[in-house]
Each structure stands twice: as C-alpha cells, then as structure tokens.
Structure 1
Amino acid sequence: MRIGELAKISGLAPSRIRFYEASGLITSVERKANGYRDYAPNTEWVLQLIVGAQAAGFSLEEIRQLMPMRAGGWQHEELLNGLKQKVEEIDVLQRRLAQNKAQLLLVIDGIEGKPDGMACEDNAQRVINRLREDSVIHLSARPPAAPAKKSARPRA
C-alpha cells in the first residue's frame, strides 16, 4: 500500500509516517521502480500501536525498545517490564499532580478568604506562610521515598 492510502486509513500525515520510518519504528519499506514506498499490510496496525503508546506517555525511544522488530515477535518479558515501569511512572505523576492541585486549592482558598481590611501584600504573605506550613506538615508525614527500581532490560 502506498503512503497516501496509509495516511488516509491511519489518519496520520505522510510526513509523520516517513518520520516513523526514518526513526526505525516501522520496518523499512520496499521502493517500487518509480520510487514510491510500498508499505506492508500490517503497517496500519503498527502505526496504531505507536500512536497509542505515545498517548499513554511512552517516548519514541521506549516504543522502539519494546516494538517487535525481529521475526521472533514480541519479547514478552521486556514488554511486560516496560509496561509496568510506565504504570509506576504514571502513579508518581498522579501523586505529584494531586499535590500540585492541593497547593493551588490552598492558594485559591487563601485569596478568597482574605480577611476584610487586610492589604493584598499582607494576604500574599499569609498565603505563602500557609503554603510553607502545609509543605512542612506534608514532608514530615510522608514516609521515606523508596529507592528507584532499575529496569531489568538492557538499554542500548
């Protein structure tokens, strides 16, 4: 199948498809005598995997390491470890976002709860002090961080 057809059915721009090819994420294509690329029928499926993995937060390098490029297919243990590691990264990100949200809500509450007659500068200092106190309370209540797990798969 040619790149225009692949672009149409995949919803990706031809330039993006060429980029994935140049990046080694999709297998090399055959060139016809006229120079047109001829993609294998499963290329649409591979492109869907790549786009889905990117949407899940995988970098192109991570995708490259996990994609089955050899005739042997998927390296199940490697794939499973990569997926589990991404879930751990998402958990850390969710905790960090929850902390950020809590701080923003604290700031909003501090601004909306400004005592009558208090100058804005004084209220800003009051909000900052409240943030510092809240940060100290959260830091002292937080259990020690677990050491980062090292991936079992070798990095190239």
Structure 2
Amino acid sequence: MKIGELANRSGLTPSRIRFYERIGLLKAVDRKANGYRSYPAEAVTILGLIALAQGAGFSLDEIRALLPADLEHWEHDALAGALTRKVADIETLQARLARSKAHLLHVIDEIEARPDDIDCATNARRVLTRLLGEDAEMPVASLRAKQF
C-alpha cells in the first residue's frame, strides 16, 4: 500500500510515517522504481504498536530495541522485562506525583488559612516560613532541589 493509504489506516501523518522509517522503527518498506514507498499490511500493526508503546511512556529508543524485525519473532523475555520495568517506572512516578499533590494541597490549605487581619504578602511570608522553617532564607536554586 502507498503512504497515503497507510496514513489513513493508521491515523498518522505521512511525515510521521517517514520519520519512523528514517529512524528504523518501520523497516518493511519497499521502494518502487519511481521512488514511491510500498508498505506491507503489517505496517498498520507496527505503527499501532509504536503509538501504543509511546502512549505507555516508552521512548523511541526503547521501542526500537523491543520491536522485532518481523512480528513473528518476539523476544519474550526482553519484552516481558521491559514491560515490567515500565510498570515499576510508572509506580515510581505515581508515588512522586502523589507526594507532590499532597504537598500542593498542604500549601493550598496554608494559603487558605490566612488570618483576616493580614495581607497576601504577609500571608505568603507566613506560609513560606511554616513550610520551610529554617530553610526560609535558603536561596531559590537550593529550594528547587529540595524534595517535598
């Protein structure tokens, strides 16, 4: 099939398909004498796998390492290991995001607990002092590195 049909069937743009070909993710491409690309039917499946893997957080390099030369020769152990590692990465990210969310909710609570008799600037100093304690005088660059 030609690139236009593959683009329609895969939902990807021709430029994206050519990019995947150029970086070696889409390999089963035949060139006609006129220079037109001809793609096998399995190209739709490969492009779907690439999109699915990217959606799950795999980098293009990780996908390249996992995709077999053809869909008949998967490396079971490598695939299962990569999927297991990605699940662990996601769990680590979820834990970090949960900590960040809890921290932000705490900051919101502190801001919302502003006494009626102080202005926003004074409240900001009050909140920062409570959150950072003795670190309140710490330079901003150091605060960015601090894990909350």
Q: Shared fold (TM-score greater than 0.5)? A: yes
CA distance change for structure 1 residues 87 and 27 in 2, over 3 Å: closer, same or farther?
same
Does 1:77 pair with 2:80? no
Unpaired runs of 5+ residues, structure 2, are 134-148
Does 1:24 pair with 2:18? no
Structure whose residues are more often helix by fraction: 2
Unpaired runs of 5+ residues, structure 1, are 134-156
Moved over 6 A (4+): none
Does 1:88 pair with 2:91? no
Name the amino acid aligned to 1:47. Answer: L
Distance, in Å, in 2 between the alignment partners of 1:112 and 1:34 is 68
Q: Percent identity?
A: 55
Alignment of structure 1 residues 5-154 onto 2, 5 Å: 5-69=5-69, 73-132=73-132
Q: Which moved more, 1:33-42 or 1:121-130?
A: 121-130
2:28–2:40 CA contact under 8 A, matched in 1 = no
Distance, in Å, in 2 between the alignment partners of 1:71 and 1:43 is 10
Name the amino acid aligned to 1:85. Answer: R
Deviation at 1:121, TM superposition (A): 2.9
Deviation at 1:33, TM superposition (A): 1.6
- Matched length: 133
Give the TM-score of the pair, scaled to structure 2.
0.84
What CA RMSD, in Å, does the superposition of the two structures yield over aligned residues?
1.6
